[in-house]
Structure 1
Amino acid sequence: MTETNSEPRVLATDAAIELIREIRRDHPDILFHQSGGCCDGSSPMCYPADDYIVGDNDVRLGEIDGVPVYISASQFEVWKHTQLIIDVVPGRGGMFSLDNGREKRFLTRSRLFGGGEVCTVQPLACGGS
């Protein structure tokens, strides 16, 4: 897991963990990829693990409730000074995300690391840990 001074790079609220567990009843093996698209820029997309190919330039931020969370290397470069907090709000998830159709969706919130909590992470190979 990627951490900065023992602070995890990604966390989840209780509501997010509850939704993750709901989704895992239908799809036991899932992963998150932080969207960088224009339409879902703050939405972490949740996919069945065997339906999404982790790219060579994706960075594994860590895990939430046993579920890996990835972000593209270019987006990580912009957000490397932040801790991501996966939360849930009312609404529809991204078109291809497993939270779609559940009338609630994942949302990424963030907080800046302070006091030198910045670390360097190299992109991981496909499926790396």
Structure 2
Amino acid sequence: MISRVDCTDKAKELIETLKTKHGDLMFYQAGGCCEGTQPQCFKKGEYYLRYKDVCIGTIEDCEFWVDKDLFEYWKHAHFELDVIDAIGAGGFSLEVPLGKTFKVNYRVFSQEEIDQLEEVKINL
């Protein structure tokens, strides 16, 4: 099966740092303006999922959720979580106090990959 989401080594290192400090984590990407355009990292359970939000997979044992409308737009794309040394538009994500911002690099799946994609989980 083909994963819909993975991360760079730099993102893995930051996730481990954040897990050591905060415990279990989750990611959420909305797709709206400002901080909604970048993935947000929260302590697991501290972001309330909305009806039909979609979990596209896990990164380092952390669920990666996206808004249902964003999923419809990007369901044929692979998400690669990365990190930049800057403070992004939002201030709610756990990496911000470290002067970092998570970002996603996208690429479109090939038809062969689409035929082998992992199932998603939908919040009902």
Pick the TM interval, shorter chain.
Answer: 0.7 to 0.9
Cα offsets for 1:78-103 (capped at 9, x unmatched): 00110000001110143111011111
CA distance in 1, matches of 2:50, 2:22: 21
CA RMSD in angstroms, aligned pairs only:
1.9
Letter in 2 for 1:58: D
Q: Mean alpha-carbon deviation: is it higher for 37-46 or for 85-94? A: 37-46
Query: Could you tell me which residue of structure 1 aligns to residue 59 of structure 2?
Result: 64
Query: Could you tell me which residue of structure 2 aligns to residue 3 of structure 1?
Result: none
Query: Aligned with 2:45: secondary structure?
Result: helix
More helix by share: 2
Deviating beyond 2 angstroms after TM superposition, the runs of 4 or more aligned structure 1 residues are 115-123
Q: 1:15-54 maps to which residues of 2 (within 5 A)?
A: 15-54=10-49
Cα offsets for 1:4-27 (capped at 9, x unmatched): xx2100011000010001111111
Q: 1:1-129 maps to which residues of 2 (within 5 A)?
A: 6-93=1-88, 94-118=90-114, 124-125=122-123
Letter in 2 for 1:124: I
Letter in 1 for 2:38: S
* Contact 1:59 1:121 (8 Å CA) reproduced: no
Task: Calculate percent identity across the aligned residue pairs.
Answer: 34
More strand by share: 1
Per-residue deviation, 1:47 = 0.7
